[in-house]
Amino acid sequence: MMPTEVRILLVILFLGFSSSSIAQPAGQNDLQLAQYYYSNGDFEKATIYYEKLYAKDPSKQIFLRYVDCLMQSKQYKTIEKIYKRQINSNRQDFDLQVSFGQFYEDIGEPVKSTSIYENLIKNLPPSPTKIIELYRSFLSRKKLDLAFDCLKKGKKITSSGFELQFSELHFLRGEKKEMIEVLVVFLGQNPEMLDNVQQLLASKLNLEDPSSADYLITKEILVSTAQKSNSPLIISELVTWMFIQSKNFSAAYNQTVSLEKRLGGDGYRIYDLAVICMENKAYEAARKCYSYILNQPNSEYIIEAQRGLLNARYLELTTNRNYNEQEISATILEYEQALSKYGKQVKTHSIIIELSHILAYYANKSSSAISLLKEALAISGLTDMQKAQLKMQLADIYVLSDDIWEASLLYMQIDKDFKFEAIGNEAKYKNARIFYYDGEFNYAQAQLDVLKESTSKLIANDAIQLSVTITDNFGLDSNFQAMFWFAKSELLIEQHKYNEAFQLMDSIRINFPYHSLADEMMMRKGNAMEMQGKWLDAIAYYEDVLKLHPKDILADDALFRIGDIKENILSEKEQALEIYKRLLMDYKSSLFGAEARKRVRAIRGDQFIDDDL
């Protein structure tokens, strides 16, 4: 058999003499051979071809590969000779000269390398671009002291302070205090660079933990700088940002109010902070911000603040479900006072939707909610989308009131008007559930099949889940009654008739003890407990799903719900972390995998996550 190397060489030579390669540059085959020998570690042969190539094309790429080959055979004199020739032809290439110095270091001649480095710094031109080029060359070879000397010299001979480069260098040298100080000076001189400075600090320091050394030193420097009489205002904004990173929204509020008073602002900084608080579910802090704006009669954010203030309370009720009857009454009064003050108009349509939800679902006043929504639909100037949102809320409350066919008509209207938008898909899904509740499983299944391709991932997943429930539990002998009861129990849960729903599910368990709906019923009971704010009871049901049905399709759903409750309700972050990791390990194909991965990253503060967790 012909050796592999010989065969490859023959192919290359054949290509070189073929008619199709006549037009190729003469050095093309030399380059192919040089690369072939180099990649296979035959540096002696590679040197021959790179020498020929370099004679014709003294480009830096060919030069460096040629030098590397010569280094392998320790031809130091030749390297020294061609380095000098290359540098003479490229005097402005500082990286090439630093590379020459590195060569002397590598062969044990530090005096020569030091001389090259010192001359480069000594003869620096007053050009920030060239100074940064030399700095980068030193930095890429981890020559931090030389990089520092380069910047110091550059600062002397130009008007540039090179603050960003100095901050980078301080970080690499472990000098975080100096890094922060340099960035503070830089920001004071360049306030338009606030976002850049924030990104640098966030990427280099742990500012989320208020007890960390990074946070403490940053706070000390920023606060002391901001308190100086001549401190630029932008530093105060950076202080606010720092407090937000550690979720110290109370301190962020005080700092922002101080800045607003100092500048006589219109409240936009406070409003922006309120939005951040809402995003972080810090509803009490958000309400404080919105209340401040409402006490500034000339602010242009008055109505937005009123909406935000009410929305914060609404989310507290509907998310945490931590309330009593007195709080519900007080909240309704706040909403009614806002509508009395600002009227039922386009700008208050979201307030109307939230009030109707509280009236129907938390105050047992569905008729009042329905009247409010019908009145709102007559508001002049509403967009089609706003009308659809009001109709959706009205339909949901009709379901709550057991008027499911009125609800169905509204869902169909929304579906028709917004067939290719998310709200239309949501309406189609909810209408499919109406037929599901009524035992029309085949029709519901047909509607769900359409929704499986929805662009809305949430709706598509919900449609798939309900479709699987129907497919797995309907159509077999004697299963219709069990499925009909189960669908009815789901409607009862939707109507907050939890005891009746549980009794119906218990009837299924008694009459059909081995039915495949067992895990579904446990899951729905867990959902019902969540709706009532009974978080530990919900977890208990989800744990039963995992214990009794670990291989069934709802096991990963149950595990994710436990993690979500522990993370966002019970504030048991570490336990939630382990649950999400378990989901990623045990249920690799779960639809919750991507979200669980994000949450692991968020809890651990990682920049990336191992896909093989």
Containing H/E element for 180? helix 176-189
End-to-end CA distance of the chain: 48
Give residue 341's pLDDT: 92
- Report the C-alpha gap between 99 and 93 in whole angstroms: 10
How many residues are present in the chain? Answer: 613
CATH number for the domain harbouring residue 544:
1.25.40.10
Domain boundary among 68, 90, 112: 90
4 falls within a domain: yes
Residues whose CB is less than 8 angstroms from the CB of residue 222 and which lie 6 or more positions away in sequence, other chains included: 180, 184, 235, 238, 239, 242
Please compute Rg for the chain using Cα positions: 35
- Report the C-alpha gap between 50 and 224 in whole angstroms: 60
Domain boundary among 56, 90, 124: 90
**Low-confidence stretches of the chain (pLDDT beneath 70):** 1-28, 454-455, 475-479, 606-613
- Please check whether residue 102 is in contact with residue 113, taking contact to mean a CB–CB distance below 8 angstroms: yes
Give residue 475's pLDDT: 63
396 falls within a domain: no
Give residue 323's pLDDT: 80
- Report the C-alpha gap between 86 and 121 in whole angstroms: 20
* Domain of residue 583, residue span: 520-613
Containing H/E element for 342? helix 325-342
312 falls within a domain: no
**Phi and psi, residue 68, nearest 5°:** -60, -40
46 falls within a domain: yes
> What is the number of H-type helices and E-type strands within the chain?
33, 0
Angle in degrees, 0-180, between the axes of helices 518-531 and 480-494, rounded to the nearest 10:
10
How many separate domains does the chain show?
2
Structure tokens at 372: 């409010």
Domain boundary among 90, 115, 132: 90
Classify burial at 358, counting beta carbons within 10 Å of its beta carbon; exposed 0-12, middle 13-18, buried 19 or more. buried
142 falls within a domain: no
Structure tokens at 299: 């602010």
Annotate 122-147 with DSSP letters as a single string: HT--S-HHHHHHHHHHHHHTT-HHHH
- Segment 306-337, tens digit of pLDDT: 999 999 999 988 887 778 889 999 999 999 99
53 falls within a domain: yes
539 falls within a domain: yes
352 falls within a domain: no
